[in-house]
Amino acid sequence: MDKETKRMVEFVVALCGPAFVVGYLIFWAILGHNVPPPSAYGMTPEALISEYYGKYRSDILLGMIGCCVVGLLYLPWSLLLATKLSDEDGKLGVLSLMEAAGGTLTAWVLAFCPAMWATCAFFATTIDPVFIKVLHLTTWTIYDCTFMITTVQLTGLGCYVVLNKKQTLFPAWTGWSAIAVGIIFLPLVLIPYITEGPFAVGGTWNFYIVFSTWLFGFFAPFSYYMLKDILSHKLAQPLVAAHSH
């Protein structure tokens, strides 16, 4: 593959990240009526149906199926990020592999869990509400309490950026920020035990702070510097050609 084609591929893959974020906001947050999500751990099965799945059934079904598609756009974006960690020495080390594996498994969770919520919406009015609540809560427990998958990704990424003094693509502060975001996820383990307050499913910390820091403390800066690197190479080529003449 020639350099120009490689850059074009990288540019398209880099755009998968922003496409994932925009798509997930539309399908999961808006159509899925998850701003904030219902605190189902403290709701009766009947209330979960009447106030959520029954009330917004069509929206939730469409939104969650949409998430099954756009959620996996996180996968190519994460793998591109891993290659940026390996380009200097030409191979993936343990830290870049942590980023790649963590990103891959996170993408699976981002698609798999919405598939389960879509199933809840599909059967919401036809089977016992108890089964809907069990599946809904099982899925939320997977979605939030497996946060270590993403923490591993962010730790590998952050340590690579901080410890590799030779790399110049990502500023050191982005590495520290990634590590901090991974640590901020820790209170998610409290979700099955707390039904109200900042550490509940839709609470200030475990919903708004966790998702906001992931977006602005990790995803946005790394997307920016990857795109900046790709576009700088594309812009540099015409200048090199001009000087050669």
Query: For residues 91-116, b (16+ Cβ closer than 10 Å) or e, as one string?
Result: eeeebbebbbbbbbbbbebbbbbbeb
183-199: average pLDDT: 95
Given the structure tokens 């990790």, which residue do they identify? 218
Task: DSSP letter for 37, please.
Answer: P
111-164 confidence digits (pLDDT tens): 999 999 999 999 999 999 999 999 999 999 999 999 999 999 999 999 999 999
pLDDT at residue 239 greater than cutoff 60 = no
pLDDT tens digits for range 21-67: 999 999 999 999 999 999 999 999 999 999 999 999 999 999 999 99
0.75 exceeded by pTM: yes
Confidence class for position 240, pLDDT limits 50, 70, 90: very low
Q: How many residues does the chain have?
A: 245
Letter for the amino acid at 44? T
